[in-house]
Amino acid sequence: MGKYSLLFLPGDGIGPEVMAEVRRIVDWFSSRTELAFDVSEDLVGGACYRVHGVPLHDDTMAKARAADAVFLGAVGGPEYDGLDFSLKPERGLLRLRKEMDLFSNLRPAQCFDALADFSSLKKNVVSGLDIMIVRELTGGVYFGEPRGIHREGNERVGINTQRYTESEIARVARTAFDLARRRGKKVCSMEKANVMESGILWRDVVTEIHADEYHDVELSHMYADAGAMQLTRWPKQFDVIVTDNLFGDLLSDLAAMLTGSIGMLPSASLGAPMENGAPRAMYEPVHGAAPDIAGEGKANPIACILSFAMALRYSFDAGGEANRLEAAIADVLSEGLRTADLIGETGSKPVSTSDMGNAILAALDRTSTR
Ligand code: IPM
Ligand code: MG
């Protein structure tokens, strides 16, 4: 088996700290399994702006397109608030998503048993929770034209456009149905067809794709606001949720918090297959740069490490190794290890980012001697 090329883009805030832990996990898999990885690193976001004056360099964009998988830490920070919109750190991330055509963003919300008490919802509502949000990632109001701020008479007007083509809806719907086939065989599609024409089209296209290709999967529809309510009321009613870029942004933060901490949630952004059959892919934690705790060793590396587990599954055809990594994380959590985000009011002592990494590596070592 050849070496897989990984491009690491640690970015800003806690990005570099959590990515350093992923690097150690990748090295572990390189030295202890059949898998081999070649890791290179580059700049994105504010870190790139400080060196190159742009949030993403063209050379980095080219490397990202050539890599077997890209891993992104986080972008953004208050020091970049005053920058021109086109230079903001987030633009680097959005350019990567758009130019790699990563149209399907998979955001699982799984509740680890050891953390069921930590959710803001009652334990019986979240324990055993395992849902997958599929967020459309390269269309909708994030990219639609016209957009901008202009002057009309004596005041300014801000404009963004929600725009979806049938093919954009169809391809992300297929991702959701294909995933559901391998899981609980249920898809719930969320939009606002009661208010938005793009929502009416969304519902029509998802319904057509289902009728033509996916009889074995159960399809339901919900308005996105009701979906948010149902996600907090009884999230276990869902298996796969498919929704647009903006609703997916909101609903995935909500779903993340059901599991106890946004520091736990990974994501995979997938595009069309490359020459070797694997999808073009970028993996990132759902959490952001958390500048308030950056550099203090307080960040939870689990979301980022779980993103590598997703890469094992979706990019490297190594589902068994992904399960092994997820089991190691579950082990460490049931031993009681907690980073600061998972401590809450309990008053117990948190472990550092690298201690959490050490513990996960030790748990992996145990799996290979069993
Ligand atoms: C996310 C983030 C991004 C988004 C930001 C950082 C541009 O919130 O990945 O959910 O809005 O998509
Ligand atoms: Mg978000």
253 as an active site residue: the answer is yes
Active site (annotated) includes residue 212: no
For atom 11 of ligand 1, the residue with the nearest CA is 249
Predicted TM-score (pTM) of this structure = 0.95
Tokens 């009701």, residue located:
226
d(CA 259, CA 176): 21
Residue 200, φ and ψ in degrees, nearest 5: -65, -45
What single letter denotes the amino acid at residue 26? Answer: V
Q: Which two tokens stand for residue 180?
A: 């559901």
Active site (annotated) includes residue 239: no
Give the DSSP letter of residue 120.
Answer: S
Residue nearest to atom 10 of ligand 1 (CA): 249
Most ligand 1 atoms within 8 A of CB, residue of 88, 93, 102 to mutate: 93
How far, in Å, CA of 144 to CA of 162, rounded?
6
At which residue do the structure tokens 């067809």 appear?
193
The ligand minimizing its distance to the Cα of 90 is 1
R_g over Cα of the chain: 20
Q: What is the pLDDT of residue 370?
A: 52
* pLDDT recorded at residue 112: 87
Which residues form ligand 1's pocket by a CB distance below 6 Å? Answer: 90, 93-94, 249, 288
pLDDT of residue 263: 84
276 secondary structure, DSSP code: T
Q: Is 275 helix (H, G, I), strand (E, B) or coil?
A: coil
- Please tell me the distance between residue 248's alpha carbon and the centre of ligand 2 in angstroms: 8
The ligand with the least distance to the CA atom of 141 is 1
Catalytic residue among 38, 101, 178, 225: 225
How far does the centroid of ligand 2 lie from the alpha carbon of residue 335, in Å? 30
CA distances from 187 to 180, 193, 214, 217, 313 (A): 6, 17, 10, 7, 21
Q: Closest Cα to residue 176, out of 168, 187, 165, 192?
A: 187
User: What is the mean pLDDT of each successive set of 10 residues along the chain, which is 370 residues long?
Assistant: 91 98 98 96 98 98 97 97 96 97 96 86 93 98 97 98 98 98 97 98 98 98 98 97 97 88 91 94 94 95 97 96 96 93 80 97 85
Tracing tokens 């939870």 back to the chain, one arrives at 300
| Pocket mutation for ligand 1, best pick of 90, 135, 250, 251 (most atoms within 8 Å of C-beta) | 90
283 tagged catalytic: no
Cα three-residue angle 29-358-346, rounded to 5 degrees: 135
- Predicted pLDDT at 346: 67
Closest atom of ligand 1 to CA, residue 105? 9
